[in-house]
Structure 1
């Protein structure tokens, strides 16, 4: 038996070496995680966490949840992407860290990933700590369960006692299901006795169907309210739209003429307007509602203007409907002002196109964010608006000065003080007063008093006092009593201010936002 004894000792030695190497490997990986995290090297830290997870997943998640920083949620997302089946291990680690239980990002990821890997465990853990986790993470469980088996997820909905929470759970299931298996969802939905109620939770724009026959089901079950008012029928720029039914323009145009074709084309056009306006444009002949036509033509004009303002204008000018043309031109002007404020300002003031002047305020705002002094100098040299019917007087200068004051008040006010007396100087003083009126009301009133034009001065003083009023109901009136003002101005301001004070005290005030300018919003 001596040979057996030696064999046993050898096996124990090998096992010890392997176990020691395992322990040593885990310790090294832990040290690397801490080192790289301290160095703000998220990429290397994630790799080290992956090495630790290869040894012990729970230990890797446990360490991750102890790292001190708000950016750990991104690290957690990265680790789960590398370990899609590790949801149960994450849940084990998550439950050990009560300080993370109310962390929305971490908790949501833990329950969603656990529900995808082990739905019953996710459900049981939530119910075991219902006071803490229910209904906070109910949507995450719904999303996780739906990844593998949406029908099973719907069965869990029946276990929820609260009608509100049950409705929320169903919404998340159907929302997620919509983008995964449109054919399966439509088949299931057709058979449900409460189909109209369930249909409100479907993300109709994201349905991915495999053949055109599904269009009939969509037309039959799409809620009327969604199609009629457009609510919920708009994808945002940057959202993926490949494979979904609204991209199948060929299917839509192959439908027989009639109400179904018009209705589905309208829905698809609204959904595509801001993600693929050129495809939406192909549906324009099928569109009857003026608001949908204006949405599509405006989006096309704006998107083309982002590449070439002249191309955008050419498209807009070619539209035969006057209202469509007006709104499309406006889309071009505002896109131009956002992307190339200097070019937009030049066009507005030098082209002779009176409609283009509407973009002066936007152009001044955008230009002043990148090069405020150049924007103000250009406005001073060119913005000599004489016909106020064509647009707000000194709109470009006012917008540029207000924006500059909101971001660099010292430099802006120094530049404004150096202006020669005249209409432009008054407009600049008014812009400074507006920009300062929320944060520095008394200083803003000082600037307003420096305006030479009596009517403009009264308007500026009124705005400053109203902004102040929504922070303090006593000081504006006290200032008005003590200020050095001519009697006509004092009477005007008193008549203007007192009804608003009474409205504020009675709770009928419209709110301070009514009186805030662009500059104020930036300054805050």
Structure 2
């Protein structure tokens, strides 16, 4: 021991101390434990104490447990149950299980049950599974069952698959389903996938199919692609294509694209390409952008949108230069909105100068609204001055709505003062609509007064009904009095007011 302590601090010293403590513990565990507890708290002491307990457990796990339970509480005590019950299960799993059941409920017993399940499953998974089914519900049972089924699935996935239906719904079954699918796919992927397809819809089914496909595509990518192509069009094919696409794209985007292009035209092919291009754009945006620009068909727009979104996050100026050089207006309109709105997050004034490059009215309106919202967060006066220059139309309406929604959230009084200066029109109606949605919770009477200034009758009546319904929830008497005296249609009043007794 003196030799080990004389070694300079580092891996060699820790190894020497551990070896010395192990030999000491076999001869005099109490003395070794007392010495270990005098060490400074930290990894060296934790490792040394684990060596003491493990040495005892090799010869007499019951004595090791008694020794552990007499130790003073410590941060590493719970983890020491694992080596004890791991060794115990190797020699007598039934005795280990019986003793673990006598431990008081808590994390220590859960650790013991998990250790038993993990080791017993390697020896006799049927017996381990039968034992786990006798445990009371709780984290210990869940952990033990997961370990048993996970280990069992490595050896006999078909057997584990056959007992899935007997398991109660929960984390243990969900994780086991995934483990079975993954392991089974290594030996018979088609059978594993047929099994996953028969599972009930939900996250467990999706994760199991993804696990099986991932295992298969790593071993036989061409055969896996042929399988996906042969699936009938629908959700199952789309999920399968996406799983394989993500797996292939993580290592070779070009190969992933070649694979996806073999899938027949449809949603599965498009979803696969979209996921590949998104991942590709993170690593090599220029190459992904070149591919998206060369694409043809209905999916081209989505590919350009995905590339522009990813590229704008890492290098918006480079993305902007690329999009601006696209020869077709339709391609530019697909790429520019994402780039411009990303620029608006840091420099809305600069983004505002670029929005006119978008020729499609709907795309321009969307981008304009997002810029207005971003700008309103730090300089609503400048944003309002910018959008006032727009002619009446989609872009102006969307911008007024987004500006008012953001501005009234931060400063409703200033937003209301500006709104009072806006001339009548569709854009003002949109702004009033957004403004009243924000203030109705704090001042429903003011919201009602503002809504009554909306020029569009249909919008006005719809918003009045919405405001009145919200008002009833906070002040039923005042709201009911206003509704009764209002000019709302009788059928609206009937919907809002409770029937008279």
Do they superpose with TM above 0.5?
A: yes
1:397-429 CA-partner distances (Å, limit 9, x unpaired): 21321442xxxxxxx245446658412999877
Aligned pair partner of 1:382 in 364, 386, 392:
386
Answer with 1 or 2: which has the greater Rg.
2
Q: Secondary structure at the match of 2:278?
A: coil
Q: Does the alignment pair 1:362 with 2:370?
A: yes
From 284, 287, 312, the equivalent of 1:305 is 312
2:278 is equivalent to residue 274 of structure 1:
yes
**Counterpart of 1:395?**
401
Structure 1 residues 340 and 111, CA, compared in 2 at 3 Å: closer, same or farther?
farther
Contact 1:357 1:391 in 2 (8 A): yes
Conservation of the 8 A alpha-carbon contact between 2:369 and 2:401: yes
Within a 5 Å distance, the mapping from 1:492-503 to structure 2 comes to: 492=488, 494-495=489-490, 497-498=492-493, 500-501=495-496
Query: Residues 380, 326 of structure 1: CA spacing in aligned structure 2 closer, same or farther, 3 A cutoff?
Result: closer
Q: Does 1:157 align with 2:161?
A: yes
* Partner SS for 1:128: coil
Q: Write out per-residue CA displacement over residues 314-350 of structure 1, whole angstroms, 9 at most, x where no aligned residue.
A: 555666787765444443344444x436356533677
Task: Tell me the CA shift for residue 352 of structure 1.
Answer: 8.2
Displacement of 1:491 in angstroms is 1.0
What SS does the aligned partner of 2:133 have?
A: helix
Give the 5 Å matches for 1:92-111.
Answer: 96=103, 98=105
Tell me how many residue pairs correspond in the alignment. 427
Residue in 1 aligned with 2:303? 296
Structure 2 residues without counterparts, runs of 5 or longer: 1-23, 55-63, 90-96, 200-204
Residue 219 (structure 1) shift: 1.8
How far does the alpha carbon of each residue in 1:103-136 deviate from its partner, in whole angstroms, 9 at most, with x for none? xxx97x9988875555348635531125557996
- Residue 274 of structure 1 aligns to a residue in which SS? helix
- SS of match in other structure, 1:397: helix
Measure, in 2, the Cα distance between the counterparts of 1:382 and 1:285.
Answer: 33
Question: What are the Cα deviations for residues 212-256 of structure 1, in whole angstroms up to 9, with x where unaligned?
Answer: x54124422674356776346557xxxx96x74774455567779
Alpha-carbon distance in 2 for matches of 1:140, 1:402: 52
* Mapped contact 2:216–2:224 kept (Cα < 8 A): no
SS in 2 for 1:491: coil
Alpha-carbon distance in 2 for matches of 1:220, 1:251: 17
Alpha-carbon distance between aligned partners in 1 of 2:26 and 2:263, rounded to the nearest angstrom:
77
Alignment partner of 1:202: what SS?
A: helix
Displacement after TM superposition at 1:455 (Å): 3.2
- The TM-score normalised by the length of structure 2 is 0.60
Label 1:420 to 1:330 Cα distance change in 2 as closer, same or farther (>3 A).
Answer: closer
Contact 1:234–1:271 (Cα < 8 Å) also in 2? yes
Query: 1:188 & 1:215 partners in 2: Cα distance?
Result: 15
CA distance 1:429–1:444, change in 2 (3 Å): farther
Check conservation: 1:230, 1:270, Cα contact below 8 A. no
In structure 1, the residue corresponding to 2:279 is in which secondary structure? coil
CA distance in 1, matches of 2:415, 2:263: 61
Q: 1:20 is matched with which residue? A: 30
1:145 and 2:151 aligned: yes
**Which is bigger in relative contact order (C-alpha 8 A, separation at least 6)?**
1
Residues 283 and 451 of structure 1, relative CA distance in 2, 3 Å threshold: closer
Residue matched to 2:353: 347
Superposed CA offset, 1:337-395 (max 9, x none)? 4x436356533677786644423443455556xxx3x3323223322144133342523
| Cα separation, partners in 2 of 1:359 and 1:231, compared to 1, 3 Å | same
SS in 2 for 1:297: helix
What is the alpha-carbon distance in structure 2 between the residues aligned to residue 94 and residue 230 of structure 1? 47
- Aligned equivalents of 1:380, 1:256: Cα separation in 2: 46
Take 2:325 and 2:213, find their aligned partners in 1: how far apart are those partners? 30
CA contact (8 A) 1:205 1:245 kept: no
Work out the CA distance in 1 between the residues paired with 2:150 and 2:114.
4
**Superposition pairs of residues 446-457 of structure 1, within 5 angstroms:** 446-449=446-449, 453-455=453-455
Aligned match of 1:478 = 480
Q: 1:491 aligned to 2:494?
A: no
CA distance in 2, matches of 1:168, 1:357: 49
2:178 to 156, 175, 179: 175
In 2 relative to 1, CA 475–163 (structure 1 residues): closer, same or farther, beyond 3 Å? farther
Aligned twin of 2:338: 331
Compute the RMSD of aligned alpha carbons. Answer: 5.9
> Structure 1 stretches of 5 or more lacking a match?
1-13, 33-43, 405-411, 506-524
From the superposition, tell whether residues 117 and 217 of structure 1 become closer, same or farther in structure 2 (CA, over 3 Å). Answer: same
